[in-house]
Amino acid sequence: MAAQDGSEVVGMEDEVTQKVPEVLCEAAGQEDAAGTEQASLSDGESTSAQPAAVSNGEESDEGKEMVEVKIIWNKNKYDLKIPLDGTGAKLKEKIHTLTGLPPAMQKVMYKGLLPEDKTLREIKVTNGAKIMVVGSTINDVLAVNTPKEVIQQEVKAEENKKEPLCRQKQHRKVLDKGKPEDVMPSIKGAKERLPTVPLSGMYNKSGGKVRLTFKLEQDQLWIGTKERTEKIPMGSIKNVVTEPIEGHEDYHMMAFQLGPTEASQYWVYWVPAQFVDAIKDTVLGKWQYF
């Protein structure tokens, strides 16, 4: 058949020849598209795998001219390397990092007070320069400025920890004698003016009888014993200490501090409670009961 009409064979070959390039082109196009898609995907993966640069806001000192200085604060010395073109304000930030001292609380001294707005180059800071820093940390300031109320509470708490006076050995030897038979009557929880007669029937530290006479016109306290009478100017009495006697709270033990230390205290036992405030106010010059 092909020999009889070669034209038919030729026609079929032409048709096949025409289709093959089309198929090849289509396949090539698909390969190109796939390659492009693969390349895009690969590029995308590569891009996403690279970490982004993150800045912490600090300037790098790389490549800058540096100067080495010695920071002296609170008897401590710190070596510091800082850009020569950095300002005094930047130096204060570095000092804060070293010492914990906030910039606002720093006084930085180098040939006088260091200006914050000028560079170290401008104020002629050289290698090995000593820079003095004066200032206190916030904790130091708080410690110094503790409110008086807090201090008073702490002192009071410390006093409460101490053994009561009436239990101390030096006082027990007098208190163990018991209440004097001729002591003046007492009224617990009351406040009365001083009587016009001496307060009598009490003991002193040696266990002897003692009486107290308040000479207001002479501004004197007379402390009388069997042996003698001491006339003491009230202005010379530094303090008055009192404490209720355990088991007999309607009576107090009382000390008049006659000198600069507690060693000069003159103790009196079994003072009627109703006169305690009047005695203290009279001796210390408050006079509110008169």
Of 7-21, 110-124, 219-233, 263-277, minimum mean pLDDT range = 7-21
Buried b (16+ CB within 10 A) or exposed e, 225-244: eeeeeeebebeebeebebeb
Residues 6+ away with beta carbon under 8 Å from 203:
174, 177, 180, 209, 210, 268, 269, 270
Under DSSP, is residue 254 helix (H, G, I), strand (E, B) or coil?
strand
For CA atoms 178, 181, 187, 193, the dihedral sign is: negative
* pLDDT mean over 30-44: 46
Domains of the chain: 66-143 (3.10.20.90), 165-284 (2.30.29.30)
158 falls in which pLDDT band (50, 70, 90)? low
> What pLDDT does residue 142 have?
61
* pLDDT mean over 238-264: 91
> What pLDDT does residue 43 have?
46
Q: Which residue has the higher pLDDT, 19 or 133?
A: 133
Of 77-91, 93-107, 128-142, 169-183, minimum mean pLDDT range = 128-142
Under DSSP, is residue 75 helix (H, G, I), strand (E, B) or coil?
coil
Whether residue 24 has pLDDT greater than 60: no
> What pLDDT does residue 151 have?
58
> What pLDDT does residue 261 have?
84
> What pLDDT does residue 47 have?
42
> What pLDDT does residue 148 have?
57
**What is the separation, in whole angstroms, between the first and last Cα of the chain?**
157
C-alpha 244/C-alpha 165 separation (Å) is 9
Span 39-73, pLDDT tens digits: 444 444 444 444 444 444 456 677 789 999 999 98
pTM attached to this predicted model = 0.44
C-alpha 141/C-alpha 218 separation (Å) is 49
> What pLDDT does residue 278 have?
92
Under DSSP, is residue 163 helix (H, G, I), strand (E, B) or coil?
coil
Span 161-211, pLDDT tens digits: 567 888 888 899 999 999 999 999 998 888 999 888 999 999 999 999 999
Span 220-234, pLDDT tens digits: 999 999 999 999 998
> What pLDDT does residue 145 have?
55
